[in-house]
Structure 1
Amino acid sequence: MATQNPIGVFDSGIGGLTVFRSIVEALPGYDYIYLGDNGRAPYGNRSFKTIHQYTWECVQWMFKQGCPLVILACNTASAKALRTIQQQDLPKLYPDKRVLGVIRPTAEVIGDYTTTKEIGVLGTKGTVQSGSYLLEIEHFSPDLKVHQQAAPLWVPLIENGEYDKPGSDYYVKLYLDQLMAQSPNIDTVLLACTHYPLLADKIKANLPANITVVAQGDIVAASLVDYLRRHLEMEQGLTKTGKREFYTTIDDTADFDHHASQFFNDEVKSQFVDVREGCE
């Protein structure tokens, strides 16, 4: 069913395809498996325990398909599950596997985008409440002032294909107004959810022209390129036939394929899987 040693890319839904697209553009010759847990999305309002359970089930499924390396292209999973997976689950069950997230590589470079040293972070409720961006950005850029704003309705709108409809305009403006009311000095807005780039045009239209809007795809892709350069034992074990496979936990694969094709800017044909089978 799967390629021999592909890179795994996981998201709670279709949003991670914005990151996956950038990764494929940066590293086109590698084999990949993409898994969207659409059957249980959105993750944003769920507890730490539930998000860890769901994420770990998906990661284990990808390991069983041969992936030695999995990218959590999901901010909520990166915020609420990655540390436990890296520090507890992998050492006990899969010491030779690696799981990477999207928050740290973003935090490493976000300071390069701002002049005023004040940034806004838009994310799910789970990502914002975790405080992960506050901690990581403080570590890499202690001089930055970070303003956070949850946008809990954006992912459901996107997952249901309403992101480009007039009905989404109200909710885009609502959360942006709440963010910008926190400080007039914000000059950079980070889209700290991989779903949000599909709203980028509407987001930019509702912000002053001088504000830089930052998506994560290219940042995460560049970080992965650097990681593989520094970990040749991992890089040399990956298969490189250019094969890409797409899987989803929702049985309506036609609906997934339709929306995913718009995210990925290419035709997507996925298969349904039950990731819970055989999990530890």
Structure 2
Amino acid sequence: MLSTQPIGVFDSGYGGLTVFKSIARLLPQYDYVYLGDNMRAPYGNRSFKTIHQYTWECVQLMFDMGCPLVILACNTASAKALRTIQQQDLQHQHPGKRVLGVIRPTAEVIGNCTQTKQIGVLGTKGTVQSGSYLLEIEKFFPDVKVYQQACPLWVPLIENGEYDKPGADYFVKQYLDQVMAQCAGIDTLLLACTHYPVLEQKIKAYLPASIKVVAQGDIVAQSLADYLHRHPEMEQRLTKNGQQQFFTTTDDTSDFDHHASIFYSEPVKSSYLQVK
């Protein structure tokens, strides 16, 4: 592994695979390592301190595997850990490495999707409580009003394979009703959790066709392409053999592979990686 310098893609579980899928499709030439911290997922209801600890531990594992650049393909980790990692951890321990998130790239473009200037943000409890989307969207689109809705049961439903069962419909409709009740003018809903695209068809079924549902995969992929173009010193470090490796912190790799293949839309074969 150390002979290669892949791009690392991290998530607390499977959701980051929806982003990785878009990245690998747009930039297939690079080597990649995906790591899901399934043993400790979900992150959504954990404290800032715990999420930072878990995320930083996994980022360092990816550094050890040769990754000079890691993408936090997880909104909760991006909201609660990224700033500390960028401003403190990297400077003190790995000044030559870079860690990027998914919130800022999304905030930079989401305002272009709305006609009414009213956006709903669907996320985990941790992402919503952090207020990260309120702050970031305000920077780029001060005239856009953002309404947030935590959907704490969606990730457990997805992670446990219940996303396509009839029982999931009740909880999908419940949270959609709650966010739409905040403002009748909402015309754009952001899926601010990388797990949620798995529910996208159910979500759209309970919404008028006029409401746009926005997932983050293609947004983050294009942002990464732009980043590498603007930072040739990083781009030139990355190896380009088109290789992909998948790791999980749970020792039941067969279970991970089964679920991961649903998120990635291709068969996945993973290896177990023990967290320090």
TM over 0.5: yes
Counterpart position of 1:115? 115
Q: Percent identity?
A: 76
Looking at structure 2, the residues matched to 112 and 275 of structure 1 have their Cα atoms a distance apart, in angstroms, of 40
**More deviation, 72-81/248-257:** 248-257
Looking at structure 1, the residues matched to 57 and 166 of structure 2 have their Cα atoms a distance apart, in angstroms, of 36
Looking at structure 2, the residues matched to 15 and 222 of structure 1 have their Cα atoms a distance apart, in angstroms, of 18
Looking at structure 1, the residues matched to 109 and 35 of structure 2 have their Cα atoms a distance apart, in angstroms, of 27
Q: SS of 1:34's equivalent?
A: strand
Structure 1 regions of 5+ residues with no counterpart? none
Q: Is residue 2:153 matched to residue 1:153? A: yes
Counterpart position of 2:269? 269
Q: Kindly report structure 1 stretches of 4+ aligned residues shifted beyond 4 Å.
A: none
Counterpart position of 2:173? 173
Looking at structure 2, the residues matched to 202 and 266 of structure 1 have their Cα atoms a distance apart, in angstroms, of 21
Q: SS of 1:239's equivalent?
A: coil
**More deviation, 156-165/125-134:** 156-165
Counterpart position of 2:54? 54
Looking at structure 1, the residues matched to 79 and 3 of structure 2 have their Cα atoms a distance apart, in angstroms, of 29
Looking at structure 1, the residues matched to 199 and 3 of structure 2 have their Cα atoms a distance apart, in angstroms, of 33
Contact 1:70–1:98 (8 Å) recurs in 2: yes
Q: SS of 1:213's equivalent?
A: strand
Counterpart position of 1:228? 228
Looking at structure 2, the residues matched to 245 and 3 of structure 1 have their Cα atoms a distance apart, in angstroms, of 14
Looking at structure 2, the residues matched to 131 and 182 of structure 1 have their Cα atoms a distance apart, in angstroms, of 17
Looking at structure 1, the residues matched to 116 and 6 of structure 2 have their Cα atoms a distance apart, in angstroms, of 41
1:186-237 deviation digits (Å, cap 9, x = unpaired): 0000000000000000000011110000000000000000000000010011
**What is the CA distance between 1:3 and its match in structure 2?**
5.7
Looking at structure 2, the residues matched to 214 and 42 of structure 1 have their Cα atoms a distance apart, in angstroms, of 22
Looking at structure 1, the residues matched to 88 and 275 of structure 2 have their Cα atoms a distance apart, in angstroms, of 20
Looking at structure 2, the residues matched to 140 and 250 of structure 1 have their Cα atoms a distance apart, in angstroms, of 39
Q: How does 1:11-30 map to 2 (within 5 A)?
A: 11-30=11-30
> What is the Cα-based RMSD across aligned positions, in Å?
0.7
Counterpart position of 1:140? 140
Contact 1:2–1:245 (8 Å) recurs in 2: no
Counterpart position of 1:259? 259
Contact 1:3–1:243 (8 Å) recurs in 2: no
